[in-house]
Amino acid sequence: MNDGAAARGAARVSLDALLAPALGNEKALEVVSHACRSLGLGDPAHLTIDQQRRVLDALSAGGDYVATVARFAKARVLLAR
Amino acid sequence: MAGLCVVSELFDDAEPEIIRARIAERLAGRRAALVVVFASPARGLSAITAALDLDHEVVVGCSSAGEFDGRRETKGGVSVFAVAGDLVATAGMGTGLRDDVGGAVERALAGQPASIEGHPHRTGVVLLDPLSGVGEHAALLVAEHLGDVPLAGGAAGDDLAMKETRVAFGGHAATDAIVVAQLFTREALGLGVRHGHEILSGPLTVTRAEGAKVLELDGRPAWDVWKEQTRAAAEAVGIDVDTLTDADVGAFLLRFEAGLKVGTETKVRAPLARHADGGIAFATALPEGTVIRITESTPGSQVQSAHRAALDARAALEGRPVAGALVFDCICRNLILGPSFTDAVTGMSEALGGAPLAGFETYGEVALHAGELSGFHNTTTVVLAFPGER
């Protein structure tokens, strides 16, 4: 993240769209929605980049397939911004 | 990429020393930087790679379910691709893929360099055992380790037995393993990937799964659902889903694969085997909650998609001619096309300007362009084109 203002702003790409290539649309939306609820965040479609990072951190915490997909999305997209 | 020399050779039935001698002859005695071998389980993969390893820098390979070059295909044979000249190849193999995918990938990459001076472009080539059931997981971990590097590759086959698939590095072949090779080049390689499948069924939710094994769809045994959903389409191509023998099931499943909706596109996941408990084993994980749709394809779209993949790979070379190409082609294309599979092969060759190509029929494919978020595919043709001199 190069720009602090951008970090606080609305994300341009939804998290489920980032995870869908490996999980499919429906499963991606399910895991993101579940993580948002667990973290007390709002609508998954309207997360800030910081909130997206929190969701991906939570999803990445496990050692399973979904965790790898989340960690990869974080490295490839969020950290590249 | 000055001085690049690419050769391919298809063997129907040859001993390792004959293959070694023929490749040496084709290379006019040059030492290849990279040799890739695709061998039917009937041919003894490790003996072939061991023989070639005596003459060349890096030799990798895998077992296959059919082999081809730019003119024809064979079964029970060996396809060899060798490239000599101004590129540097490194490789490694990691075993224990099923139980420790992260560790296996780390072992495959251990000691490999991140860069080679004077060769600014890096491409990964991945060969893995699909019966370990971690195809996408492994592809993403390789990509995570390598960074924003394009990947190409394939999942090994075993002539549709669905029992044991192998990958090889040097003279050593192993099951439950992954091989990762890196190619460092002066100019970028060209990557193309396409599939020709379309949605057949409505949405089906994975309601019980263990790793890559799907036990239930919509609360019912997965195999029962698969038969029900494909019955009419299978009948149209002469398949009775109620009388399939164990030997027929692998080929049947590879005609009617699972599709994930990704945006408005479909990404295909390969079912490989039926289990006695009514579950279906896949080449990669499908966690509970995943929604799939069963897919099918026509012969015409199979030929067309292979051709387009080759055109994409060539276009990615941005005007440079194709010196040669590696092709990783899903076995489903061969099953759907039958004898007309040769049309797909010659179509790819034509799209690549007649350059030497070597390929095999896979149980899964790896293709990841820089910046993409998924690297494991099924039903696709993946073409990795090597640039020649302008």
Per-residue tokens: A56: 């991906």
- pLDDT on residue A75: 85
At B382, phi and psi to the nearest 5? -115, 125
Can you state the angle between helices B45-53 and B16-26, rounded to 10 degrees?
Answer: 40
Instruction: Supply the pLDDT for residue A4.
Output: 36
- Cβ proximity of B160 and B93 under 8 Å: no
Q: What is the pLDDT of residues B269-281, one digit of tens each?
A: 999 999 999 999 9
Distance (Å) of CA B106 to CA B46, B131, B143: 22, 19, 12
Chain A residues with at least one Cβ partner in B under 8 Å? 17-27, 30-31, 63-66, 68-69, 71-73, 75-77, 80
Say whether pLDDT at A78 is over 80. Answer: no
Cα–Cα distance for residue pair B233/B255, rounded to 1 Å: 10
- Say if residue A5's pLDDT is above 60: no
DSSP string, B12-76: SS--HHHHHHHHHHHTTTPPPSEEEEEE-GGG-HHHHHHHHHTTSSEEEEEE-S-EEESS-EESS
- CB contact under 8 Å between A21 and B289, yes or no, is no
Question: Are the C-beta atoms of residues B125 and B152 closer than 8 Å to each other?
Answer: yes
pLDDT one-digit tens code per residue, B3-16: 689 999 999 999 99
Q: B140–A69: do the CB atoms touch at under 8 Å?
A: yes
> How far is Cα B33 from Cα B13, in angstroms, rounded to an integer?
25
pLDDT of B370 reads 81
Q: Is the pLDDT of residue A9 over 70?
A: no
Least CB–CB distance from A21: residue in B141, B262, B291: B262
DSSP-derived secondary structure letter, B363: S
> What number of residues does chain A have?
81
pLDDT at residue B142, as a whole number: 97
**Pair of tokens at residue A68:** 């790898």
Instruction: Say whether residue B262 is in contact with chain A using an 8 A CB cutoff.
Output: yes
Per-residue pLDDT at A7:
40
Identify the band that residue A49 occupies on the pLDDT scale cut at 50, 70 and 90.
Answer: confident
What confidence score (pLDDT) does residue A12 get? 66
B157: left (phi over 0), alpha (psi -120 to 50) or beta: beta
Residue B296: how many other CB atoms lie within 10 Å? 21
Question: H or E segment at B227?
Answer: helix B222-236
Q: Is the ipTM of this complex over 0.90?
A: no
- Comparing CB atoms, the residue among B285, B289, B374 nearest residue A21 is B374
Who contacts A12 (Cβ-Cβ below 8 Å, separation ≥6)?
Answer: none
Helix (H, G, I), strand (E, B) or coil at A32: helix
Closest CA to B356 of B109, B81, B149: B81
Q: Which residue has the higher pLDDT, B23 or A81?
A: B23
What digits encode the pLDDT tens for the residues B133-148? 999 999 999 999 999 8
pTM above 0.80, yes or no: yes
Comparing C-alpha atoms, which of B258, B347, B355 is closest to residue B308?
Answer: B347
Q: What is the pLDDT of residue B148?
A: 87
Give the type of residue at B257: E
- Taking 50 as the pLDDT cut, the residues of chain B under it are 1
pLDDT tens-digit map of B60-104:
999 999 999 999 999 999 999 999 999 999 999 999 999 999 999
For residue B292, list chain A residues with Cβ-Cβ distance below 8 A.
Answer: 24
Predicted pLDDT of residue B150: 96
